[in-house]
């Protein structure tokens, strides 16, 4: 069975294939079409060991629109609280004969561990600071639709890169699709040797944002910063917050993106987040449902006897 545990390991043509597949679901969702239920009779389990709004709800909506029976497991209300291990939890879901399992977990590598143990496709909904592949796919789809393509786009990703699975998956996807990627963070939140990923690192946001087509902002992930230096929100906003003044340094039609959840007034000013021309933040959420429909459809094709995974 094929799982999606990360963007690493996907070929550029496979990324493009998933984006093309998602494109049809964007139209289908907008038309409120009800006639296709390719996952009819399949059981989808969303096992979330970490909090989520967008990813959990969009995987649930995506599965239901495709006709799957969708079951959500919230770790806080599960037997994980009684000491059950991750592997034992995974084997329990497997014994219930899930057809696809979607997992979010606070530990990097936890999703791969489960994918190696169960008999059905597993989708990574975010594992620690490792990867969040469907976020990168929905971001690439948003850029492709709004900018007419990804190749050659100058993208700056600014924020807590050290703890960000979104940044990692986005760097992998955007460089695979031949975007010019800049990353910007305070030195304390910049992963070592990040330039080896094919990106240009900056610590000065005013320099990094210069002539960018896309400005992607990330929040400070305080929940992953035990023992690390946490900047004050005021200090952080002054140096790394996206304001209208700073955005004026990017291209006049620059796209502003944020995976959410946002901390308004910290990494992004409200008038930028809500800007009617620049902000693509709600469109990202819309693309999230389409991308997750595409991933659920494509990953279950082999089990359904349908051809089509690249």
Is 135 one of the binding residues for ligand CP (CB under 6 A)?
A: yes
Pick between residue 54 and residue 224 the one whose CB is nearest to ligand CP: 54
Task: Report the alpha-carbon distance of residue 34 to residue 67 in Å, rounded.
Answer: 10
Shortest approach of ligand CP to residue 125 CB, angstroms? 7
Q: Candidates 6-14, 49-57, 63-71, 178-186 — which segment interacts with ligand CP by CB under 6 A? A: 49-57
Shortest approach of ligand CP to residue 51 CB, angstroms? 7
The rounded radius of gyration (Å) of the Cα atoms in the chain is: 19
Task: Report the alpha-carbon distance of residue 214 to residue 185 in Å, rounded.
Answer: 16
Pick between residue 2 and residue 260 the one whose CB is nearest to ligand CP: 260
Shortest approach of ligand CP to residue 259 CB, angstroms? 4
Which residue's Cβ lies closest to ligand CP? 55
Is 159 one of the binding residues for ligand CP (CB under 6 A)?
A: no
Shortest approach of ligand CP to residue 308 CB, angstroms? 27
145 annotated binding-site participant: no
Q: Candidates 23-31, 52-60, 88-96, 180-188 — which segment interacts with ligand CP by CB under 6 A? A: 52-60
Is 128 one of the binding residues for ligand CP (CB under 6 A)?
A: no
**Residues 296 and 39: beta-carbon distance below 8 Å:** yes
Shortest approach of ligand CP to residue 113 CB, angstroms? 20
The CA distances from residue 74 to 7, 13, 37, 289, in Å, are 25, 35, 26, 20
**Residues 126 and 56: beta-carbon distance below 8 Å:** no
Is 55 one of the binding residues for ligand CP (CB under 6 A)?
A: yes
Is 170 one of the binding residues for ligand CP (CB under 6 A)?
A: no
Pick between residue 202 and residue 272 the one whose CB is nearest to ligand CP: 272
Pick between residue 52 and residue 200 the one whose CB is nearest to ligand CP: 52
Task: Report the alpha-carbon distance of residue 212 to residue 36 in Å, rounded.
Answer: 40
Pick between residue 163 and residue 202 the one whose CB is nearest to ligand CP: 163
The CA distances from residue 211 to 96, 254, 255, 268, 307, in Å, are 52, 8, 12, 18, 43
Per-residue three-class SS string for 279-296: ECHHHHHHHHHHHHHHHH
Is 54 one of the binding residues for ligand CP (CB under 6 A)?
A: yes
Shortest approach of ligand CP to residue 20 CB, angstroms? 23
> How long is the chain?
310
Q: Judged by CB under 6 A, which of 126, 133, 186, 241 binds ligand CP?
A: 126
Q: Judged by CB under 6 A, which of 261, 265, 270, 306 binds ligand CP?
A: 261
Q: Candidates 27-35, 172-180, 219-227, 255-263 — which segment interacts with ligand CP by CB under 6 A? A: 255-263
All residues at 6 or more sequence positions from 298 whose CB lies less than 8 Å from its CB, including other chains? 17, 18, 21, 308, 309
Q: Cβ atoms within 10 A of the Cβ of 246, count?
A: 18
Task: Report the alpha-carbon distance of residue 131 to residue 101 in Å, rounded.
Answer: 16
Task: Report the alpha-carbon distance of residue 138 to residue 170 in Å, rounded.
Answer: 10
55 annotated binding-site participant: yes
Which one, of 137, 111, 107, lies nearest residue 7 by Cα? Answer: 137
Is 260 one of the binding residues for ligand CP (CB under 6 A)?
A: yes
Task: Report the alpha-carbon distance of residue 308 to residue 201 in Å, rounded.
Answer: 38
Shortest approach of ligand CP to residue 258 CB, angstroms? 9
Binding stretches for ligand CP (CB under 6 A): 52-55, 126, 135, 259-261
- Which residues fall in the annotated binding site for L-aspartate? 82, 165, 219
């Amino acid at each position: 069975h094929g799982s999606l545990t990360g963007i690493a390991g996907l070929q550029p043509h496979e990324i493009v294939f998933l984006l093309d597949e998602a494109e049809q679901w964007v139209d289908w969702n907008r038309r409120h079409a009800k006639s296709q239920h390719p996952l009819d009779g399949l059981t989808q389990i969303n096992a979330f060991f970490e909090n989520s709004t967008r990813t959990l709800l969009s995987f649930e909506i995506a599965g239901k629109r495709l006709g799957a029976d969708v079951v959500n497991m919230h770790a806080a209300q599960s037997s994980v609280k009684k000491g059950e291990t991750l592997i034992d939890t995974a084997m329990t879901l497997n014994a219930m004969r899930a057809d696809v399992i979607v997992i979010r977990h606070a530990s990097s590598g936890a999703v791969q561990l489960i994918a190696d143990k169960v008999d059905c496709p597993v989708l990574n909904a975010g594992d620690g600071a490792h990867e969040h592949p469907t976020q990168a796919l929905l971001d690439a789809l948003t850029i492709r639709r709004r900018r007419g393509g990804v190749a050659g786009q100058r993208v700056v990703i600014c924020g807590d890169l050290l703890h960000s699975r979104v940044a990692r998956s986005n760097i992998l996807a955007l460089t695979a699709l031949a975007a010019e990627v800049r990353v910007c963070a305070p030195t304390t939140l910049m992963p070592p040797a990040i330039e080896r990923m094919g990106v240009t690192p900056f610590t000065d946001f005013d320099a990094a944002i210069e002539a960018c087509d896309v400005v992607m902002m990330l929040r400070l992930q305080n929940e992953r910063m035990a023992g690390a230096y946490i900047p004050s929100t005021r200090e952080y906003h002054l140096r790394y917050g996206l304001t209208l003044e700073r955005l004026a340094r990017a291209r006049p039609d620059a796209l502003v993106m944020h995976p959410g959840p946002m901390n308004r007034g910290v990494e992004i000013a409200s008038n930028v987040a809500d800007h009617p021309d620049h902000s693509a933040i709600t469109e990202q959420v819309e693309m999230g449902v389409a991308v997750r429909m595409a991933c659920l459809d494509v990953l279950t094709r082999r089990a359904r006897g349908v051809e089509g995974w690249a």
